[in-house]
């Protein structure tokens, strides 16, 4: 069970400043041994695009809770990239853990779209209210079937457009983002796997335990 203080400490660790520090370290230090690889510049471009997507999305958000969710996702992404560079042999495991992480959040989108807008907030709010109404309507069937049918009808009427927005807008955008990220990680593995070693590296404090990295 995560206590309030543990949650607060985790939020501080997953700050946008720490995510930026990791990304700077990745580009200015971790990737240095791979500069001569033919895919190096395309990988760097993909990393810059991902970084910009997180930065732009977070800058557009007002609520602290919304910002923290995307900041945690940003930190998780940066950490995963660095882990892959520190331990190339375990890169596939880190990537799988990234997509399975509770902190993962699809961020960005094609053609300048964003994964979270005011429309997402509205759709989520309406859908939540609709579910509550339909739950009440379900219980009301036991006592007043006519009133229950009216409540269920209203709830379903409001839920329909929210569900449509989710499946027509949100899900396709999330799929496009995940495809972009998988392309990035494939490019990363292409760059780092031939070396199979990491030179002049130090292990990060919060790095998952496992086989020790091969040092040069």
User: What would the DSSP string read from start to end of 163-190?
Assistant: HHHIIIIIHHHHHHHHHHHHHHHHHHHH
- Give the pLDDT score at 187: 96
Residue 162, domain member (yes or no): yes
Tally Cβ neighbours within 10 Å of residue 96: 12
* Tokens read off for 48: 């810059």
Residue 5, domain member (yes or no): no
Residue 204, domain member (yes or no): no
- Give the pLDDT score at 196: 47
Residue 121, domain member (yes or no): yes
In whole angstroms, what separates CA 147 from the centre of its chain? Answer: 42
* Structural domain that includes position 103: 11-192
- Give the pLDDT score at 171: 84
Provide the total of helices (H) and of strands (E) in the chain, helices listed first: 8, 0
156-161's contacts with Cβ under 8 Å and 24+ in sequence apart are 156/130, 158/126, 158/129, 158/130, 158/133, 159/126, 159/127, 159/130, 159/131, 159/134, 161/123, 161/126
Residues 6+ apart with CB under 8 A from 139: 148
Residues 6+ apart with CB under 8 A from 130: 155, 156, 158, 159, 162
Residues 6+ apart with CB under 8 A from 191: 34, 37, 39, 40, 43
Residues 6+ apart with CB under 8 A from 16: 58, 71, 74, 75
CB 137 within 8 Å of CB 158? no
Domain count, the chain: 1
pTM: 0.74
- Give the pLDDT score at 111: 56
Residue 82, domain member (yes or no): yes
pLDDT in tens, the chain (216 residues): 555 445 666 666 789 999 999 999 999 999 999 999 999 999 999 999 999 999 999 998 887 877 899 999 999 999 999 999 999 999 999 999 999 999 999 998 765 566 777 787 788 889 999 999 999 999 999 989 999 999 999 999 999 998 888 888 888 888 889 999 999 999 999 999 865 444 444 445 555 544 433 333
Separation of alpha carbons 199 and 204, rounded Å: 14
Residue 52, domain member (yes or no): yes
What backbone phi and psi angles, to 5 degrees, belong to 198? -125, 125
Residue 6, domain member (yes or no): no
Residue 206, domain member (yes or no): no
What backbone phi and psi angles, to 5 degrees, belong to 215? -100, 145
- Give the pLDDT score at 63: 79
Residue given tokens 């339909």 in the structure block: 134
- What is the crossing angle of helices 171-192 and 91-100, to 10°? 170
């Amino acid at each position: 069970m995560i206590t309030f203080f543990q949650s607060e400490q985790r939020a501080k660790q997953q700050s946008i400043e720490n995510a930026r520090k990791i990304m700077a370290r990745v580009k200015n230090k971790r990737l240095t041994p791979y500069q001569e690889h033919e895919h190096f510049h395309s990988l760097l471009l993909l990393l810059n695009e991902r970084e910009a997507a997180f930065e732009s999305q977070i800058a557009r958000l007002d609520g602290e809770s919304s910002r923290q969710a995307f900041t945690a996702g940003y930190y998780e992404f940066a950490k995963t990239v660095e882990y892959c560079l520190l331990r190339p042999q375990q890169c596939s495991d880190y990537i799988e853990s990234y997509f399975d992480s509770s902190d993962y959040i699809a961020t960005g989108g094609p053609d300048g779209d964003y994964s979270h807008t005011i429309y997402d907030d509205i759709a989520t709010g309406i859908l939540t209210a609709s579910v509550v109404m339909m739950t009440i309507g379900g219980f009301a069937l036991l006592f007043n079937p006519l009133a229950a049918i009216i409540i269920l009808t209203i709830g379903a009427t409001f839920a329909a457009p929210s569900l449509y927005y989710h499946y027509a807008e949100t899900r396709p955008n999330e799929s496009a983002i995940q495809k972009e990220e998988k392309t990035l990680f494939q490019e990363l593995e292409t760059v780092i796997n031939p070396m199979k070693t990491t030179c002049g590296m130090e292990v990060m404090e919060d790095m998952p335990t496992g086989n020790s990295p091969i040092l040069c």
